[in-house]
Structure 1
Amino acid sequence: MSRILLLALIVFMTACKSKPKPATGDEEQALTYPDFRRLFPEAALTFRWDADSLGIRQPDSIALKARVVKQFLPDTLAKGVFAAAEKPKFFALGLIQPPNRQFDILVVEGSARSGAAAWLVMFNKNGEFLGRHLVARNTKGKRMGFSVDKRLAIKVTTETASKSIREDVYAAEEDGNLALILTNSTEPVGGLYNPIDTLPRKHKFSGNYMSGENIVSVRDGETAKEFLFFIHFSRDKGECIGELDGTGRFTSATTGQFRDKQSSCILDFKFSSGRVTIRETGCGAYRGIRCMFEGTFVRKKSK
C-alpha cells in the first residue's frame, strides 16, 4: 500500500472515531438526562393525540430501549392500564417546553397487545422526575385523548361507557402536578346522596364544586365565620373512596379550615373565582389508604 493511501486511511479512521454519535438510546452506557431528552422530538403546539392516534401501531424499531425506560421512567407508569403479564413497549412522542419555566413535559406512549396509552411525564431541568399523568388511552373500550394548546392548557377528553363526553382542562405546575381549571361534561351526576344539598347557599362561596364525578358541596354555616361542607370522591376505578362532612371556619376572606374533633384530620380550603382547592393532613380514617382529600374542584352553575 502506498504511503498516500495509508495516510488517507489513517485520516479517515481518525475522523470516524472523533465524530460524536447521536443520542438514540442504543448506547451501552447509561444516558444523561440531556441525552434522554434529545430522544423526544420537539412538539409543535397545538399538540394533539387522541384514542384513534393510539390505534396506529408504532414500529418496534423506534421503541425506547428497556434499560433507558428503567433509568428514566417510573416502574408504575403503566400500572392499571395494561394487564400485569403484559410488557408494553414505550415510545418517545414529543417534548413540550413551557416558556420561562423550569421543567419539561415529555409525551410517552406505551403499546401492548391489549391497546395503547400515553402519559405526560414531567422532569425539572436537572433531570429529576416530578410526576406522570395518564392523558390518552385506547384499551378495552376505554378511550381518552388530549391536546396541548399554545397557552399550554392541557385538555383531556374522556369517552364514557354511556357515550357521553367529559373534558377536563388542566394547567401544568412546576412541582409536576396538574391543576384542574375547567370541566365540561355531558354526563349526568346521579346516584349520590348529598346530606346538605337542600341547605341555604347564600354565601358567595356556597355551591357545588366538581371534578369529574367527584363533588365538594359547600353551604352556609350558622354564622358568617362558618361553612358546612360535604366531600365525596371515588378514584382508581372505585378502589379508593373518600367521604367526609362537617363544619369549617373561615380563616381569611378566601381560606377556611376544618379540624376534626374525633381524629387528627385537618382540611384546608382555598376559595378563588369559580373553584376551591383542598389539602388534607391526617384524614386517613375517612378515605382509602391510596388517595387523599386533595385537588382542585370547579364550581358548577346552579340551575
Structure 2
Amino acid sequence: MYKLGYIFCFLVLLACHSKKAKTGTGETGFTYESFSDLFPAVKLPYQITDTSLLKSKDTTQIRSTEFAGFIADSVKNQIFTKGAKLKYYALAKIEVPKAETYYIVKVISGSKKAALLISFDGKGKYATSFPFLIPDDDATTSQASSIDKSFTISKNVVQKKDGELKGEGKNVYVYSADTRQFILIMTDLLDESKRDLINPIDTMPKTRKFAGDYIQGKRSLVSIRNGRTPNQALAFIHVEKNEGECTGELKGEILFTSSNTAIFRQGGDPCILQFNFTTSSVTLKEEEGCGNHRGLDCTLNGIFTKKKEVKSKSNTKKTTKK
C-alpha cells in the first residue's frame, strides 16, 4: 500500500516537472522548443495597435533569463530606461515556410509597454530583435504595426486633432536572412521636422577607417559604424531637403569595393547606392532604384562633411622640472 503511495507521488511530481519544462517557464534554462510552444500561431495578415497592446491582459510569461539575454541592450534602451526591470510575455508566432520564424513578444516595465518582433532562423537559432510597436506619449497619434502575407512589416502612425486627420506616416521593412536584420525599404514620414533626429546605430563601435558621422546642414546625416568584417560597414542615412518637404532614410550594411569606395546592395531591395570616402567627407550617389527610401522630389545624393569627434578633456596636469 505504501509502495503504491510513493509511486503515485513520484508520478505527480514527474508530471509537474514535465508540464513546467513544456511551458518553458524555467527561471534560467532555455530550449527553443519550449519557448516556441508558449506562442499561439496566428494567420496573416497580423496587426496590433497601441490601444490593444496597452489594454491587453498579460499572457504567458517568458521567464527564461537566457532568452532575456538575447535581446541587445541597444534595443532595450531605445524603449525603456537603462537598467529597467523587464517582463516578457508571449503574444503570437508567425512561421515563414522553410525559413525563419517570427515571435511577437510584449515587454513591460512598470506602466510602459512595447512589442518586439524576435526572429529565429530555420534551425531554431536566435537571429535578431526588432521594435515592432512602441506606443508614444502623444494623445493625438495612434499607431498600428502589421505583417502581411508576403511577410512585409508595416509600422503606421496617424495623427488627428479635434477629430480631423492631420497626417499619416508609414515605415515598411523586410527581413534579410543574409544580414539577419530588418531593412527599411520605404518611408513616409509623419512630421519629422518637429522631432529629434535619432541615430539608431549611434552607440555601435566606430574604430575602423571612415567610421564616424558625416553631416549636411542641420538634419541630414550619414552615420558609419564597424561592420562584421573589415570590408563591411553599417550605414544609417537620414536626409531632409527642400525645407523638410522631402525626406528619406536608409539603414543597412555596405561593402567596400576599393580602399575608399563602398556600395549598398541588399537582396530584395532594388536600391544600389555608392559611397565615395575621403578623410573629411563622403559622397553618396544613387546608382539604381532608391525611390523606396525617400520622397519623389529629392534623392540621397550629396556630399556630407565628416563631423569632428569631441575629445574628452583630461584632468591630468603636466608638471615642469625646476
The answer to whether the 8 A contact 2:93-2:104 is kept is: yes
Following superposition, the deviation at residue 99 of structure 1 comes to 1.2
The letter of the residue matching 2:8 is F
Tell me the secondary structure at the aligned position of residue 65 of structure 2: helix
Following superposition, the deviation at residue 173 of structure 1 comes to 2.4
Question: 2:71 pairs with 51, 70, 73, which one?
Answer: 73
The letter of the residue matching 1:74 is A
Following superposition, the deviation at residue 120 of structure 1 comes to 1.1
Q: Which residue is 2:172 aligned to? A: 169
Distance in structure 1 (CA, Å) of the matches to 2:237 and 2:296: 25
Tell me the secondary structure at the aligned position of residue 172 of structure 2: strand
1:178 aligns to 2:182 (yes or no) = yes
The alpha-carbon distance between structure 1 residues 90 and 277, as it changes in their structure 2 partners (threshold 3 A), is: farther
The alpha-carbon distance between structure 1 residues 280 and 117, as it changes in their structure 2 partners (threshold 3 A), is: farther
The alpha-carbon distance between structure 1 residues 73 and 40, as it changes in their structure 2 partners (threshold 3 A), is: farther
Deviations 1:256-293 (A, max 9, x none): x9989xxx542325599994244769789658xxxxxx
Q: Which residue is 1:133 aligned to? A: 130
Residues 137-156 of structure 1: pairs in structure 2 closer than 5 A? 137-141=134-138, 144-156=143-155
The answer to whether the 8 A contact 2:27-2:64 is kept is: no
Question: 2:261 pairs with 262, 266, 273, which one?
Answer: 266
The answer to whether the 8 A contact 2:25-2:64 is kept is: no
Distance in structure 1 (CA, Å) of the matches to 2:297 and 2:269: 12
Distance in structure 2 (CA, Å) of the matches to 1:276 and 1:83: 35
How many matched pairs? 231
Deviations 1:170-201 (A, max 9, x none): 2222232223344445x47879xxxxxxxxxx
Distance in structure 1 (CA, Å) of the matches to 2:281 and 2:108: 37
The answer to whether the 8 A contact 1:137-1:145 is kept is: no
TM-score (norm. length: structure 2): 0.56
Q: Which residue is 2:92 aligned to? A: 94
Distance in structure 1 (CA, Å) of the matches to 2:267 and 2:56: 43
Following superposition, the deviation at residue 136 of structure 1 comes to 0.6
Distance in structure 1 (CA, Å) of the matches to 2:172 and 2:187: 6
Tell me the secondary structure at the aligned position of residue 77 of structure 1: helix
Following superposition, the deviation at residue 48 of structure 1 comes to 0.9
The answer to whether the 8 A contact 2:38-2:60 is kept is: no
Q: Which residue is 1:276 aligned to? A: 271
Q: Which residue is 2:101 aligned to? A: 104
Following superposition, the deviation at residue 134 of structure 1 comes to 1.2
TM-score (norm. length: structure 1): 0.59
Following superposition, the deviation at residue 113 of structure 1 comes to 3.3
Q: Which residue is 2:287 aligned to? A: none
Residues 236-255 of structure 1: pairs in structure 2 closer than 5 A? none
Residues 1-303 of structure 1: pairs in structure 2 closer than 5 A? 3=1, 6=2, 8-19=4-15, 20-21=18-19, 22-28=21-27, 30-56=29-55, 58-59=57-58, 62-65=60-63, 67-84=65-82, 86-101=84-99, 103-113=100-110, 115-141=112-138, 144-159=143-158, 163-175=166-178, 176-184=180-188, 187=190, 232-233=220-221, 264-270=259-265, 275-278=270-273, 286=281, 298=292, 300-301=295-296
**Residues 265-274 or 18-27, more deviating:** 265-274
Distance in structure 1 (CA, Å) of the matches to 2:131 and 2:54: 16
Tell me the secondary structure at the aligned position of residue 76 of structure 2: coil
The letter of the residue matching 1:70 is A
**Residues 133-142 or 278-287, more deviating:** 278-287
Distance in structure 1 (CA, Å) of the matches to 2:4 and 2:97: 48
The answer to whether the 8 A contact 2:263-2:275 is kept is: yes
The alpha-carbon distance between structure 1 residues 89 and 14, as it changes in their structure 2 partners (threshold 3 A), is: closer
RMSD (Å) for aligned C-alpha atoms: 4.3
The alpha-carbon distance between structure 1 residues 48 and 274, as it changes in their structure 2 partners (threshold 3 A), is: closer
The letter of the residue matching 1:52 is T
Distance in structure 2 (CA, Å) of the matches to 1:167 and 1:266: 32
Task: List gaps (5 residues or longer) in structure 1.
Answer: 192-229, 244-256, 288-295
Task: List gaps (5 residues or longer) in structure 2.
Answer: 195-215, 224-235, 240-254, 283-289, 299-322
Following superposition, the deviation at residue 148 of structure 1 comes to 1.0
The answer to whether the 8 A contact 1:94-1:106 is kept is: yes
Following superposition, the deviation at residue 166 of structure 1 comes to 1.3
The alpha-carbon distance between structure 1 residues 24 and 11, as it changes in their structure 2 partners (threshold 3 A), is: same
Deviations 1:129-170 (A, max 9, x none): 322211211133276431112221211113479952212222
Following superposition, the deviation at residue 98 of structure 1 comes to 0.6
